[in-house]
Amino acid sequence: MTMMKATVFVAPGRIELVDKPIPEVGPNDALIRITTTTICGTDVHILKGEYPVVPGLTIGHEPVGVIEKLGSAVQGYVEGQRVIAGAICPSFTSYASQDGAPSQDGSYLIPSGQCGHHGYKATAGWRFGNLIDGTQAEYVLVPDAQANLAPIPDGLTDEQVLMCPDIMSTGFKGAENANIKLGDTVAVFAQGPIGLCATAGARLLGATTIIAVDGNDHRLGISKVMGADVTLNFRNCDVVGEIMDLTGGRGVDSAIEALGTQGTFESALRVLKPGGTLSSLGVYSTDLKIPLSAFAAGLGDHRINTALCPGGKERMRRLMNVVASNRVDLGVLVTHRYKLDDIVAAYELFANQRDGVLKVAIAP
């Protein structure tokens, strides 16, 4: 067999399932037979043309599968082994990686002349479905496989680890970037899959009052399971006023923005105490404006941290440890299941947020 099915970006508003050649394996690569993958909100940005990729690119960046073939230089793995790889798959040999920013590693682009900054290129650690063919296919080629493949512990199902490559890693990074300390009060704006993971991460890091904000009561109900203490539906109340009342006018220690809109970013800043941290996870489609009063004219000792989710095998190992130890159950986020043959219908469901969808498991 030399061909496989793959989901490709054709033009804004259009993806198709096509036949593509199965990738050839280089010495540092691994060919993974996909057993489960999923659709991300970023994929919808690509579908809508809000995030540019080249036509014909296979999209998707969340792989769970089995090693089909290993490159000659890859050690410590065996063919037939169940693995995941992070959505972010740096080389870990670059200046950016060794400087503590592996998600921004574009060192592999240097030979083609696309990166003239010693490998520093924003978002370039995100390769799958961005700069190389992605995971919504029967097979995916994992580059720098020895640094990026993580074996799945025995006893864990595909759906239990499906959130680790991106959603869990991103959401937890949002909590980590929020500088949460024991006893903190944290507000999480938006309770989609990433926001729900941020809520779970805030709880694990020691926040004792977590305020979840969304406009969907079903999602707010799930946020209670993930660790939220208070839920606010922005359709029914003045969220900023409610949070300031709840904190006695002090504001929250940390605010996590998990959607990527002016409204959620601004609200997160308005409820933040002086000296607090705003952790931004959203993928923004337009310029942001910072309100003067909320920013205290630049004198409020606020910190604003952004993030692209961490990848690499050690990050994946740690996240799977959290799952295996039953500290959090993210399998509940999988609300729908589709075959790869029906992925266009799955996109229609997910992009339009119908039928209570959170995450869709896609199996070949």
Sequential DSSP letters for 269-301: HHTEEEEEEEEE----SS-----TTTTGGGTS-
Based on the number of CB atoms within 10 Å of its own CB, is 358 exposed (0-12), middle (13-18) or buried (19 or more)?
Answer: buried
Rounded distance between C-alpha atoms, residue 147 and residue 92, angstroms: 7
DSSP structure class, residue 58: B
Tokens standing for residue 99 = 């400087």
Q: Tell me, what amino acid is at 81?
A: Q
pLDDT of residue 249: 97
pLDDT 10s digits, 77-95: 999 999 999 999 999 999 9
- Helix or strand holding residue 360 (H, E): strand 359-363
pLDDT of residue 1: 75
DSSP structure class, residue 92: S
Please report how many Cα atoms fall inside a 13 Å half-sphere around the Cα of residue 277, on the Cβ side: 17
* Cβ pair 71, 26 in contact under 8 A: yes
Is a pLDDT exceeding 90 seen at residue 230?
yes
Rounded distance between C-alpha atoms, residue 255 and residue 260, angstroms: 13
pLDDT of residue 116: 85
Mean pLDDT in residue range 139-157? 97
* pTM listed for this prediction: 0.95
Of 302, 241, 252, give the one whose Cα is nearest residue 277: 302
Q: Tell me, what amino acid is at 274?
A: P
What percentage of residues in the chain have a pLDDT greater than 90? Answer: 96
pLDDT of residue 285: 84
Q: Provide CB contacts within 8 A for 76, sequence distance 6+.
A: 146
| pLDDT level of residue 145 (50, 70, 90 thresholds) | very high
Please report how many Cα atoms fall inside a 13 Å half-sphere around the Cα of residue 16, on the Cβ side: 7
Mean pLDDT in residue range 306-330? 96
| pLDDT level of residue 15 (50, 70, 90 thresholds) | very high
DSSP structure class, residue 23: P
Of 105, 110, 99, give the one whose Cα is nearest residue 126: 105
pLDDT of residue 199: 98
Mean pLDDT in residue range 186-203? 98
Tokens standing for residue 217 = 């009561």
Name the residue with tokens 């779970």.
200
* Cβ pair 310, 281 in contact under 8 A: no
Q: How many CB atoms lie within 10 A of CB 65?
A: 26
Rounded distance between C-alpha atoms, residue 230 and residue 220, angstroms: 9
Mean pLDDT in residue range 131-143? 98
pLDDT of residue 48: 93
* Cβ pair 258, 190 in contact under 8 A: yes
The DSSP bridge partners found for residue 20 are: 4
Please state the three-class secondary structure of 295-327 as a single string: CHHHCCCCEEEECCCCCCHHHHHHHHHHHHCCC
3-state secondary structure of 226: helix
pLDDT 10s digits, 97-106: 999 999 999 9
